[in-house]
């Protein structure tokens, strides 16, 4: 018996083909897991409706209405859920031996993680579309033109992509579902609530305001509000508040550049126990 001759290809061509094959795997998962589709559509919609209507009735944002203020925050917060979603998926592959199988194949290692984090962006895009539609229904408008708005959505996806890679790293290191849920919660909760996602920061004590200002999520949210032409609320005179777009791009990119090599390294060493 002779081995099947592999079709010759450069490493790059092979890596692209590996990624697209595994991307197909994840897309099939999406189609076959309607419950997952529900969690990325119904849940965010519930958030928009609940926060928009409930908080909106009590909160005042100087210069505009709360629905306008809320949308960028809630979209950004939804991107943070990529941490646990990716971590749990990676841990599952690790637990049932699939990582061992993939690692014993003559394929690109980065492709495995890139396909997973990339396919999560399909879900993230879907969430953004559905939430934006619901936002529109409760009165949210994009008042700054199509180009900047698309830029805002791109910034959200960059945040989601970074969080997905962070999740891949967590999943490979922690392995255990309960540990992943706890750690993801510990990361996502302060990121969400020590930010301007839901409330203007002007009423906070100075030290807490500084913490919130430097939170990357605050920078992303403020940048999105500006790109969407939404009300930003009163901004502090801090560096991140004055340069939210540059700040958000730098913070997320730096985090991404740190997390990607760490995750790929962890993958190369990961074995099922």
Partner 1 sequence: MDVAIHAEGLRKRYGVHEALRGVDLAVPTGTVLGVLGPNGAGKTTTVRILATLLNADAGHARVAGFDVAANPREVRGRIGLTGQYAAVDERLTGRENLRLIGTLHHLGRRTARTVADDLLDRFDLVAAADRPVKGYSGGMRRRLDLAASLVARPEVLFLDEPTTGLDPTSRNLLWQTVRDLVGSGVTVLLTTQYLEEADQLADRIAVIDTGRVIAEGTADELKRRVGGERLEVRLASPADARTAVKTLNWIGAAAVSEDRLTVTVVLPPGMHAIAEAAAALAKTHIQVDDFGVRRPSLDDVFLTLTGQGTQVQQGRAA
122 binds partner 1 (CB under 8 A): no
Give the separation between CA 264 and CA 163, rounded to whole angstroms. Answer: 15
16 binds partner 1 (CB under 8 A): no
User: What are all long-range contacts of 104-107, with beta carbons under 8 Å and residues at least 24 apart?
Assistant: 106/6, 107/14, 107/18
- Mapping DSSP to helix (H, G, I), strand (E, B) and coil, where does residue 205 land? coil
Of residues 69-98, which lie at the interface with partner 1 (CB under 8 A)? 96-98
Considering the complex, what minimum distance in angstroms separates the CB of residue 102 from partner 1?
7
In the set 23, 47, 55, 102, which binds partner 1 (CB under 8 A)? 102
In the set 16, 17, 243, 250, which binds partner 1 (CB under 8 A)? 17
Q: How many residues does the chain have?
A: 273
Give the separation between CA 267 and CA 170, rounded to whole angstroms. Answer: 11
In the set 104, 146, 147, 205, which binds partner 1 (CB under 8 A)? 104
265 binds partner 1 (CB under 8 A): no
Give the separation between CA 42 and CA 229, rounded to whole angstroms. Answer: 26
In the set 38, 42, 50, 105, which binds partner 1 (CB under 8 A)? 105
Q: Which CB atom, from 101 or from 242, has the smaller least distance to partner 1?
A: 101
Neighbouring C-alpha atoms within 13 Å toward the C-beta of 14: 12
Give the separation between CA 150 and CA 8, rounded to whole angstroms. Answer: 39
Considering the complex, what minimum distance in angstroms separates the CB of residue 4 from partner 1?
5
List contacts with partner 1 (CB under 8 A). 1-4, 6-7, 9, 14, 17-18, 21-22, 24-25, 28-29, 32-33, 96-98, 100-107, 271-272
């Amino acid at each position: 018996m002779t081995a099947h001759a592999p079709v010759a290809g450069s490493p790059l061509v092979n890596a692209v083909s590996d990624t697209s094959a595994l991307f197909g795997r994840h897309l099939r998962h999406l189609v076959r897991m309607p419950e997952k589709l529900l969690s990325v559509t119904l849940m965010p919609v519930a958030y928009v409706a609940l926060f928009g209507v409930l908080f909106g009735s009590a909160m005042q944002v100087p210069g505009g209405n709360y629905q306008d203020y809320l949308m960028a925050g809630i979209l950004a917060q939804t991107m943070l859920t990529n941490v646990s979603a990716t971590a749990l998926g990676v841990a599952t592959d690790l637990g049932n031996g699939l990582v061992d199988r993939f690692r014993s194949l003559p394929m690109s290692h980065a492709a495995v993680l890139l396909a997973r984090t990339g396919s999560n962006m399909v879900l993230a895009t879907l969430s953004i579309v559905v939430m934006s539609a619901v936002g529109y229904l409760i009165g949210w408008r994009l008042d700054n033109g199509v180009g900047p708005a698309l830029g805002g959505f791109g910034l959200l996806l960059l945040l989601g992509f970074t969080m997905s890679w962070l999740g891949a790293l967590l999943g490979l290191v922690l392995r255990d579902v309960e540990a992943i849920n706890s750690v993801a919660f510990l990361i996502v909760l302060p990121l969400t609530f020590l930010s301007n996602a839901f409330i203007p920061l002007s009423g906070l004590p100075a030290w807490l305001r500084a913490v919130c200002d430097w939170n990357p999520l605050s920078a992303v949210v403020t940048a999105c509000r500006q790109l969407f032409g939404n009300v930003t609320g009163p901004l502090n005179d801090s560096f991140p508040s004055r340069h939210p777009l540059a700040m958000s791009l730098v913070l997320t990119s730096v985090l991404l550049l740190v997390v990607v090599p760490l995750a790929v390294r962890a993958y190369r060493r990961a074995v099922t126990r």
